[in-house]
Every structure is written in structure tokens, then in C-alpha cells.
């Protein structure tokens, strides 16, 4: 059975991705930080349907906890076949209203956490000479978002980092790709009012917000053999909002 780690799998895109990968036959490591009950119920749902899910609490803003999680998964299951580096936090404010702590937290979780997770999983994948990594950026990482400048910087960094390690890891049969979602209706957008959401939807060529399943389906496809000649790419799942 193939093993997949999904960071931030307790809610939103990560949750739907864990459920979708479990249906594809993966053993899924359901990482969470705060939403223990939600993460437990995802594991129960998968396990009671005959799949295999393992709960793992670790803070993606803490390099030691990331390294411990990866080491434990390697020890318990031998190989790591897929990493979905999904955990992330939003922060909406003018740049001049970002405190030092806010800047540090956004970069630590959204960028340093992804780099550290890919490095630790990369060590395992390089030694097994196979693997598949999918990172989560954002349309704001592609074009920059007003009032989301530091978030945009982290997400833009993920795109450059993904391309760099796709080159570095390719000789070891490891593909690395990035998903850049547009507006997906999850908790990360809880700050938007219903009328903000409706205005945003009017700007989307496909005239709807994205679903977590839209993103999970793209992840499942990129992870599959059907995408075996694709590496170092950014796949926008945004209904045409950014073209």
C-alpha cells in the first residue's frame, strides 16, 4: 500500500484530499494542529470504509515536529510515496498593519514549513529513488494579492521552490508539482462577507467558487501515473480567474 502524508488534513482542501487519496488506495497520514476532533472523524470515516488513515498532530511551523512526523512515518511504514504540502494560514491586512509576529508566522507556516517538510520527506524519497510531491501555492503567489502581501510572498516562494526541487530531485525519479488554487470556499476565506464572495464570483469566468473536490481531483490526477511526464509545473485550479 502506498503511503501519503497530507499536511493540514483536518479541514478544507486537505480533508477532501485525504478522503480522495484514501479512495484511490493510499494509506493517508492525516496531519493536523488544532482541529483534533475533525481530524479524528476523517480517520474514522476512512478506516470504517476499509481504508487506512493515521492521525498525526504536528505543527508545520515547527521544524522539529515536522522532522519527528516524517521519521515516525518512515519508521512505521517504510516508504513515503506521496507528500501533499497543503497546510497553510491566511492573513488579510494592509502591509503596514502586519506586525513582526504576523509576518514571521505567515512565512514560518506557509513557506518555511513547506520547505522543511519537503526537505525531510525528500531525504526519504531520494533514498528510495521514487516519490511524488505536490505543494499548495495560490493565485496570489502568481500575481500578488492586495492586503495579502506577505501571504503572496510565501506562496510565490513556494512556486520558485517547487520548480527548483523538481530539477534537483528529477534524477531520483521524484516528480514535484504545485497547485495554485483560486477562490475555494473554505474556512480560510471566512473573513469575506457573502456580498464580497458574490462580487468575487462575478469576476470568475466559470462564474462559481471552486470546491475542495475541484482541488483534490487535480491533486489525485497529478499524483497518478496519468501525469507521469509532468514535473516542475504550476497547475491553476481557479475557474479562469487568473489566466
Residues recognised as catalytic? 151
Q: Which of 81, 148 has the CB closer to ligand NAP?
A: 148
Site string for ligand NAP, 172-191 (x = CB under 6 A): ---------x-xx-xxxx--
Q: Which stretch binds ligand NAP (CB under 6 A): 20-28, 54-62, 91-99, 170-178?
A: 54-62
Cell 483534533, located at residue = 36
Q: Please report, as residue ranges, which positions from 7 to 46 form the binding site for ligand NAP (by CB under 6 A).
A: 7-8, 10-14, 31-35
- We find the least distance from the C-beta atom of residue 140 to ligand NAP, in angstroms, to be 7
CB neighbourhood size of 5 (10 A):
31
Instruction: Evaluate the CA torsion angle 133, 136, 140, 146 in order and state its sign.
Output: negative
Site string for ligand NAP, 111-150 (x = CB under 6 A): -------------------------x-x------------
d(CA 206, CA 232): 26
Q: Please report, as residue ranges, which positions from 201 to 240 form the binding site for ligand NAP (by CB under 6 A).
A: none
Phi then psi dihedrals of residue 204, to 5 deg: -90, 120
Instruction: Evaluate the CA torsion angle 209, 214, 215, 216 in order and state its sign.
Output: positive
131-136, strands of its sheet edge to edge: 52-57, 27-32, 3-6, 82-85, 131-136, 174-181, 234-237
Helix (H), strand (E) at residue 27: strand 27-32
Q: Please report, as residue ranges, which positions from 64 to 93 form the binding site for ligand NAP (by CB under 6 A).
A: 86-89
Q: Which of 88, 122 has the CB closer to ligand NAP?
A: 88
For ligand NAP, the binding residues (CB under 6 A) are: 7-8, 10-14, 31-35, 59-61, 86-89, 109, 136, 138, 181, 183-184, 186-189
Amino acid at each position: 500500500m502506498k503511503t501519503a502524508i497530507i499536511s493540514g488534513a483536518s479541514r478544507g482542501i486537505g480533508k477532501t484530499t485525504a478522503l480522495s487519496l484514501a479512495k484511490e488506495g493510499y494509506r493517508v497520514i492525516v496531519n493536523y494542529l488544532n482541529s483534533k476532533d475533525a481530524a479524528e472523524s476523517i480517520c474514522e470515516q476512512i478506516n470504517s470504509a476499509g481504508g487506512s488513515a493515521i492521525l498525526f498532530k504536528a505543527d508545520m511551523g515547527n521544524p522539529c515536529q515536522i522532522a519527528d512526523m516524517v521519521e515516525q512515518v518512515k519508521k512505521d511504514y517504510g516508504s513515503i510515496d506521496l507528500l501533499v504540502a497543503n497546510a497553510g494560514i491566511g492573513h488579510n491586512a494592509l502591509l503596514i498593519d502586519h506586525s513582526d509576529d504576523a509576518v514571521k508566522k505567515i512565512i514560518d507556516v506557509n513557506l518555511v514549513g513547506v520547505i522543511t517538510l519537503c526537505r525531510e520527506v525528500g531525504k526519504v524519497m531520494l533514498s528510495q529513488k521514487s516519490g511524488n510531491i505536490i505543494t499548495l501555492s495560490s493565485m496570489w503567489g502568481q500575481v500578488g494579492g492586495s492586503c495579502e502581501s506577505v501571504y503572496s510572498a510565501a506562496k510565490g516562494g513556494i512556486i520558485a521552490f517547487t520548480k527548483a526541487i523538481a530539477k534537483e530531485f528529477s534524477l531520483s525519479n521524484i516528480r514535484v508539482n504545485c497547485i495554485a488554487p483560486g477562490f475555494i470556499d473554505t474556512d480560510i476565506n471566512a473573513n469575506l462577507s457573502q456580498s464580497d464572495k458574490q462580487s468575487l464570483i462575478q469576476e470568475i469566468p466559470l462564474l462559481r467558487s471552486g470546491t475542495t473536490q475541484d482541488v483534490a481531483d487535480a491533486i489525485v490526477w497529478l499524483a497518478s501515473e496519468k501525469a507521469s511526464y509532468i514535473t516542475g509545473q504550476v497547475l491553476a485550479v481557479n475557474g479562469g480567474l487568473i489566466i
